[in-house]
Structure 1
Amino acid sequence: MRIVKLSPQSVAFPSPEAALRDPNGLLAIGGDLTPSRLLAAYERGIFPWYSPGEAILWWSPDPRAVMFPNEYHTSRSLKRFLRSAPFRITLNHDFAAVISACAQRPDEGTWIGEEVQRAYLQLHRMGYAHSVEVWRGEELVGGLYGVAQGALFCGESMFSRTTNASKCALMAFCHHFASYGGELIDCQVLNAHTARLGARDIPRHQFLQLLSNLQRKVLAPGCWLPQVVPPQLVEPPSPTN
């Protein structure tokens, strides 16, 4: 197998199954971050990840990290934390601020450069990319962003400037997304943080099959409208005698 160099005249991608095993998932190089190319990539389970100033690299790893919204793990300590109602959580209130904050995460390096931020902000303005914001008063203290594909959400990055902010962002989003018909969140590559929250690996071929099925589904109206999102999962009602 070899890395495919993308043509500037076409937004076509090679099959994800042609990706390298080492480094895991590297599929293609080059191209650009125009909306048409980015959307063509996400439709095939491919995403960009590269260092600013270098050629764009496109990936489709095997296995693929995913989270089923109803499998989000809420620890006892997080439940206790939420009782104090420390945050206000919103959807699509400040995408630009969220992606800028994600770019400043020390553990993420500098891969979310200005070119990436401009590209995803354009997708947001077109209605494809979305953000969750966590506020403490008027201060933005956490959040996440990603790209919608029907009933599947392709998570790109999250950040936290205070304890539990990113956990609460993801928890609130899982509940909101599922309540509108969302069924799967793409976490790309499993890490310790997302694994603790309930993400797990599945084979790439299974992910691609799920993607093909879920991207055809339409969410209930109003899912992506700017709104306040409940900060905690709704507990099931107690049984009555």
Structure 2
Amino acid sequence: MSPLRQPASVPQPLYQRIKGHIVDRIRKGDWPVGDRIPSENRLVEELGASRMTVHRALRELTEEGFLSRVQGVGTFVRGTPGQSSLMELRNIAEEIRARGNRHSARVEAGETVAADTKRARQFETEPGTALFHVLIVHSENGLPVQLEDRYCNPAVAPDFLKQNYAEVVTTDYLVSVAPVDQLEHVVRAVLPTDAQQALLSVPANEPCLALERRTWSFGQVASVATLTYPGGRYELRGRYATSPTGRIRAHGEPHEGDTGP
């Protein structure tokens, strides 16, 4: 028998009831943050719904921040947006598609490097330690909107460089294998380097936003990323709320500015 119930007084579309069922499982702790939920086929069988209906429910929950979908790997629990205690990890591909636009990614580099003094300090390790490195240009309708320069701890994600980042977003993959314990952000205004000018298609005098993000998983630094956005195409927005202890919680990341659609 399907676990979905139809309220007698307030009829709900089936996909909405499926969404409610999944969110309820997450909030009860049946599916903890970082866990992979059952496949679409399994949910179709368990819930007695069509594949299209289940797919719509999962897609909307992904857009709302409850789930994270990694192509070829599965769908994972991100948590409930209202319970997030740190700045939310947003998926640029999902944000772009939610606006009805086309996301594309071009991988400029994918390599193993030795940590220099700066990277060793960021990863709380010794100089010379092996790190994974990727450089990716994210575009919206063909226009570059983010340069992702990311270093990753091989001990946390040993298969990091085996993924196809033209199809899979790094954030989603990392969350699937290394749930985030802590998150640190540093934001600053910068002028683009020669290399950044070429990759982002911006002039030398175009101010950019640089968001440096460091994440921890299982008590160790998992990733350090510098996300550079052309200032004329993006602005930084945030939403803040207090936790029960009075601590400020932040939600948000660079969003498209007034010059875009």
> Is the shorter-chain TM-score for this pair beyond 0.5, marking a shared fold?
no
TM-score using structure 2 length: 0.29
**RCO comparison, higher one (Cα < 8 Å, 6+):** 1
Larger strand proportion, structure 1 or 2? Answer: 2
TM-score by length of 1: 0.31
Structure with greater helix share of residues: 1
